[in-house]
Structures are given as structure tokens and as C-alpha cells.
Structure 1
Amino acid sequence: MATDDGTPSGDIRVLLALDLLLSSLFSVGAVYALDLAGIGEYTWENVALATVFLAVVTYVAVLRE
């Protein structure tokens, strides 16, 4: 939800935690699918890199002003 002036309401720590959780779940699936397709290799390093990338992109996209 947002307030009348357009700023998000709620605790930013909750948003960051949800962002990391959902990004990690999506990254596990995406890296696994890439491994099945023979495009990439399923390693925890690749999952971690994908998680960080998705979390940063989501943070920038949602909180840009």
C-alpha cells in the first residue's frame, strides 16, 4: 500500500526480507531450469548470484522515485 503522497507504507525491513525470500525461490527455479536446458550449471554460487541480481533489480524497480 502507499500513502496519499505515493510513498510506500510499512517497515522497509519486511519488504527487503520478502524481496530476498521471493528472489531466492525464483532463482532456484530459474537456475534449475537453465541446468535442465543445458544452458547453465546448477550450483549454489549461481543461485546466490541470481538471487542478488533479482533482489537488486526488484528493489530499484519498486522503490525508485
Structure 2
Amino acid sequence: MSEGDSNGFSEGVASSQGDVRVLVAMNAVLSTLFAWSIVWGLSFLGMVEFGVINVATAAIVLFAMTYLVTMT
């Protein structure tokens, strides 16, 4: 790879804004997986009951926190 190619790639990546829908979808999937693992771990320790409501609540909280941090 020549020096000119790497400069062009760097400029292209730096100017790319990306698609917000992809970021939101990735945030939703990763927040859900992380929430599932947190709730599973806490239920393994006997601190909370593992269930859909607890996983969904944790996922919504994680999604909202991540969205606020990244979009503001």
C-alpha cells in the first residue's frame, strides 16, 4: 500500500458520518445481549430473578444510556 492510498482511506473514514439506523440497530442488539448477560449473572448469584421483564428493563436502560452518551 502506498502512502497516497493510506491518506485517501484516512480522509474517507474521517469524513464518513455513517448511517444512524445501523448504529441504533447495533446499540439495540448489543444492549440486549449485555443486559441478558448481566441479568443471568445476577440471577446466578441469587440477586435477581432471570426473566424477560428484567432483561428487557436492563436492555432499555443500557440502550438509553448508550444513546445519550453517543448522540449528544
Superposition CA RMSD, Å:
1.5
**What displacement does 1:2 show?**
5.5
Give TM-score scaled by structure 2 length: 0.77
Identical aligned residues as a percent: 37
Does residue 22 in structure 1 map to residue 34 in structure 2?
no
The match for 1:47 is: 55
| Count of residue pairs brought into register by the alignment | 60
Q: Greater share of helix residues, 1 or 2?
A: 2
Work out which of the two has the higher radius of gyration on C-alpha atoms and give 1 or 2. 2
Q: 1:62 aligns with which of 42, 46, 70?
A: 70
- Give 4+ residue runs of structure 1 displaced > 6 Å after superposition: none
Q: Deviations over 1:6-42 (max 9, x none)?
A: xx71111100000000000001100000001111110
